[in-house]
Amino acid sequence: MYYKISNTAEKDTIEKWANASFKYPNLYQPQQVINGLNEVSIPIITMENQTEIALAIWGLLPEKYKEDWDIFQNATNTLNFHEESMNSEMWYTKALENRRGIIPVTGFFTHYLKNGDSYPYYISLKNGKPFFLASIYNQLEDGFFTCSLLVGQANSFIKKFQNMIDCMPLTVAPEEKEEWLNSNTPISKIKETLKSPLENDFVATPIAKELFNNNISYDSMLLPYEYPKS
């Protein structure tokens, strides 16, 4: 399960790159680590408005859900869904048809188990630019969005730096943004896209184990960390 992402890009950088403007510009702040196990809001571009960057609570809730976010998350964690589950009859699969979103980030995290120790890696593009994660979302009756990341089979690159789970977040290329967010795109095409994930020009950076501490975040957290050779 992926429950931490990173977005260190400045507001103006994201707006220019995504060709969209923040709906609530004063609420956005770059963050080294965004921990989805807490109730956090993350930027999202929805099918309703492709030129606006809204905010969504990370962790999908049913559209008519009335209780607190943490109550639902304690019952079933919805930070991410595997693309294979989109072929089921579960309550969240309808969102793939008409509530697809893209989430701008600058990275996510993997973990590698070796000799009884777990080592974290920060996965980002080599050029340091933002990229889009594929997502689905629902809108609650009070107007708030909630969302989940979509994950799929880990590729050969990610497997070099992750051996505790066999999946990875799925990405949407900027040139595929319009098709992904277009309500006229056949659902068969969307599912085909999820089955054939992009090969991004990623780089993996070993970082300090403070990542495992949910209450720690500091400016140098994503810098390379050299572990003693075993």
Here the contacts of 212-216 (C-beta below 8 Å, separation 24 or greater) are 212/118, 212/120, 214/35, 214/37, 214/38
Looking at residue 210, its pLDDT comes to 77
Blockwise average pLDDT, block size 10, the chain, 230 residues: 93 96 96 94 97 98 94 96 96 96 97 92 96 97 95 95 95 94 96 87 92 69 83
The confidence score (pLDDT) of residue 220 equals 79
* Cα–Cα dist 229/200, whole Å: 29
For residues 42 and 146, the answer to whether their CB atoms sit within 8 Å is: no
Write out the two tokens for 7: 């977005």
Q: Which CATH class is domain 4-212?
A: alpha beta
Q: Which residues contact 177 (CB under 8 A, 6 or more apart)?
A: 45, 50, 102, 132
CB–CB of 110/32 below 8 Å?
no
Give the pLDDT of residue 221. Answer: 86
What is the rounded distance in angstroms from the CA atom of residue 205 to the CA atom of residue 198?
Answer: 20
On whether the pTM is more than 0.85, the answer is: yes
Q: What is the pLDDT of residue 228?
A: 77
Residue 214, pLDDT score:
61
The amino acid at residue 61 is L
Task: Tell me the torsion sign for CA atoms 141, 103, 214, 154.
Answer: positive
What pLDDT is recorded for position 217? 66
Greatest pairwise CA separation for the chain in angstroms: 54
Q: How many CA atoms lie within 13 A of 124 on its CB side?
A: 22
Token representation of residue 164: 């505790």
Cα gap 159→154, rounded to integer Å: 6
Q: Which of 230, 108, 207, 118 is nearest to 163 (CA)?
A: 118
pLDDT of residue 230: 57
Q: What is the pLDDT of residue 211?
A: 74
Do residues 43 and 7 lie in contact, with contact meaning Cβ atoms separated by under 8 Å?
A: yes
3-state secondary structure 13-82: HHHHHHCCEECCHHHCCCEEEEECCCCCEEEEEECCCCCEEEEEEECCCCCCCCCCHHHHHHHCCCCEEE
